[in-house]
Structure 1
Amino acid sequence: MDEKELKKEYAKLKRAAVELAGEVHDIVEDTLWVKYGELPRLSAKIVEAVTEAEAFKARHGL
């Protein structure tokens, strides 16, 4: 992969984490008392997504 492709892939990984965070935001804003049980699962997925993005960044020197 060239640098442009690496940056594109890194952006994709970051976007996935942000989308998960958006789900948490939506729950907190709109449906906390109904969907609060989903927060631990989503939080774990956010940690996993950020960890994956940061590892990719470190591996490729971005």
Structure 2
Amino acid sequence: MTDEELKALEKEVRKLKRVSQEWASQLHDLVEDRLPGGYADLPGIAQSTYDACKAWADANDRLTAATAATTE
């Protein structure tokens, strides 16, 4: 992997982490401020939070593997 590709992957990981944190914040706000009345929103926000966290984890795993490969 080239330095440019590695930097692009690092940028993607940072972006995905930010997105996952934003979804987690929405989930937190729902739990803290809108339940039990907003219960209908729970499945959608929870799924979006899960998907965002999974996307971050997958990208982070790729970054970890790429970083390890460059140090070998």
TM-score, with length taken from structure 2:
0.70
Q: Of the two, which has the highest radius of gyration?
A: 2
Residue 48 (structure 1) shift: 1.0
Aligned to 2:32: 29
Residue 17 (structure 1) shift: 0.9
Residue 4 (structure 1) shift: 3.2
Instruction: Classify the secondary structure of the residue corresponding to 1:34.
Output: coil
Runs of 4+ in structure 1 deviating by more than 4 angstroms, as ranges, are none
Sequence identity of aligned pairs in percent? 34
Instruction: In structure 2, give the amino acid aligned to 1:13.
Output: L
TM-score, with length taken from structure 1:
0.78
Distance in 1 between the 2:59 and 2:6 partners?
13
Aligned to 1:50: 53
Residue 15 (structure 1) shift: 1.0
Q: Which runs of 5+ in 2 are unaligned?
A: 68-72
Query: How many residue pairs were aligned?
Result: 62
Distance in 1 between the 2:31 and 2:50 partners?
18
Q: Which runs of 5+ in 1 are unaligned?
A: none
Aligned to 2:70: none
